[in-house]
């Protein structure tokens, strides 16, 4: 008499086969969802990484320009100061010529020397004479010691130095901002790496873990992009 499966055994086998088929479908569905999430994550991070790299380069360029302007302003300030010192020496030489003519009682020589005075120096010279320097022991030592005498180029040189310092501070700030974008780009590159290797794992838990870590790092990177100053276009 042939042996066969009872109806109970057949029902048990069918139920087991159906459960196995359902489990495979669920696993495949979960894998497809993870793949879609990975693709979206990769696309989003690629765009953000490109922007972060561009912003870093842009701020780096701004930093270089500001530092170059600072250097140029400092150089110009030094040049103006040198010209001012040369002009002050000229004032001193013309005054010495006048004083020598005065000691020699050379009236024509005094007139010639006075004609060589610069307008600004002549104002200080007249103010100095008004103090009666030859009879007043408390009189200033010379026209260049008078409040009316403004040393040539000092104001312009100081203004240029102040401008140069402003450019230098701006260059430092722009450089720091560029470094901030570089750090953010490193975070985004880490997310790209995690999302890229997660698809090679067959263990679903490992893939989910890598994606979760990548999303957490992505949130940190997005927060940094929001708070970091934006580049000028």
By the 10 Å C-beta count (0-12 exposed, 13-18 middle, 19+ buried), 86 is classed as exposed
Give the per-residue pLDDT at 80. 93
Return d(Cα 11, Cα 56) in angstroms, integer: 66
Look at residue 19 and tell me whether its pLDDT is greater than 50: no
Per-residue pLDDT reduced to its tens digit, 1-14 = 445 545 555 455 54
Per-residue pLDDT reduced to its tens digit, 201-223 = 777 788 888 888 989 999 999 99
Per-residue pLDDT reduced to its tens digit, 165-203 = 999 999 999 999 999 999 999 999 999 888 888 877 777
Give the per-residue pLDDT at 206. 82
| Token couple for 159 | 């203004």
What is the pLDDT averaged over residues 54-60? Answer: 94
Look at residue 26 and tell me whether its pLDDT is greater than 60: no
Give the per-residue pLDDT at 21. 44
C-alpha closest to that of 199 among 7, 42, 9, 18: 42
C-alpha closest to that of 149 among 110, 129, 122, 113: 122
Give the per-residue pLDDT at 20. 46
Task: Report whether 199 contacts 207 (CB < 8 A).
Answer: yes
Task: Report whether 174 contacts 62 (CB < 8 A).
Answer: yes
Backbone angles phi, psi at 71, to 5 degrees: -65, -45
Give the per-residue pLDDT at 9. 53
């Amino acid at each position: 008499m042939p042996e066969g499966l009872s109806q109970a055994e057949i029902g048990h086998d069918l139920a087991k086969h159906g459960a196995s088929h359902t489990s495979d479908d669920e696993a495949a569905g979960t894998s497809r969802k993870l793949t879609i999430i990975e693709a979206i994550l990769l696309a989003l991070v690629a765009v953000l990484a490109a922007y972060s790299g561009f912003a870093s380069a842009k701020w780096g360029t701004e930093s270089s320009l500001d530092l170059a302007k600072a250097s140029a302003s400092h150089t110009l300030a030094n040049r103006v100061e040198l010209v001012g010192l040369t002009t002050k020496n000229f004032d001193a030489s013309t005054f010495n010529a006048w004083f020598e003519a005065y000691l020699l009682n050379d009236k024509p020589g005094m007139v010639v020397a006075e004609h060589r005075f610069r307008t600004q120096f002549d104002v200080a010279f007249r103010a100095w004479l008004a103090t009666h320097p030859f009879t007043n022991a408390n009189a200033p030592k010379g026209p260049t010691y008078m409040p009316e005498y403004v040393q040539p180029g000092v104001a312009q040189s100081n203004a240029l130095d102040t401008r140069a310092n402003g450019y230098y501070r701006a260059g430092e700030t722009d450089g720091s901002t560029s470094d901030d974008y570089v750090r953010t780009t490193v975070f985004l590159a880490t997310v790209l790496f995690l999302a890229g290797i997660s698809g090679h794992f067959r263990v679903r838990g490992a893939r989910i873990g890598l994606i979760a870590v990548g999303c957490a790092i992505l949130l940190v990177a997005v927060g940094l992009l929001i708070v970091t100053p934006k580049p000028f276009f």
